[in-house]
Amino acid sequence: QVQLVESGGGLVQPGGSLRLSCAASGSIFSVYDMGWYRQAPGKQRELVARIDIGGSTNYADSVKGRFTISRDYPKNTVYLQMNSLKLEDTAVYYCKVDIMQRDRRQVLMWGQGTQVTVSS
């Protein structure tokens, strides 16, 4: 069994910063792609940023230059540093992780979601 635990959401003023974390634990053989998605009320879930096993990243155009995704390989953790937050960044943020378990089964897992609210 593998678990994902997200943390770091909250309420922040426009222009502020937040850092999200998502840690995978359990019966893990290897962790491949890790990513962050978000879903605002009434909108579809969208990719925010992703990082592959080699460290290559890609970002949604709306967050380029403001958000940074990174990962800690030994801790199987992905981070999203969010700077210069805007009102339109308000959403529930979900991590998504591609994992090969020790039994060699590959699974795609989603975190439980963490609320990010940008408001003055």
Q: Is 36's pLDDT higher than 90?
A: yes
Q: Is 51's pLDDT higher than 90?
A: yes
Tokens of 90: 């308000």
Tokens of 11: 């309420």
**What sign does the CA torsion over 45, 84, 8, 49 have?**
positive
What pLDDT sits at residue 70? 98
Q: Is 1's pLDDT higher than 90?
A: no
pLDDT tens-digit map of 57-96: 999 999 999 999 999 999 999 999 999 999 999 999 999 9
DSSP per-residue codes, 3-68: EEEEE--EEE-TT--EEEEEEEEESEEEEEEEEEEEE-TTS--EEEEEE-TT--EEE-GGGTTTEE
Which one-letter amino acid corresponds to residue 65?
Answer: G
Q: Is 113's pLDDT higher than 90?
A: yes
How far out from the chain centre does Cα 55 lie? 14
Mean pLDDT value across residues 3-31: 97
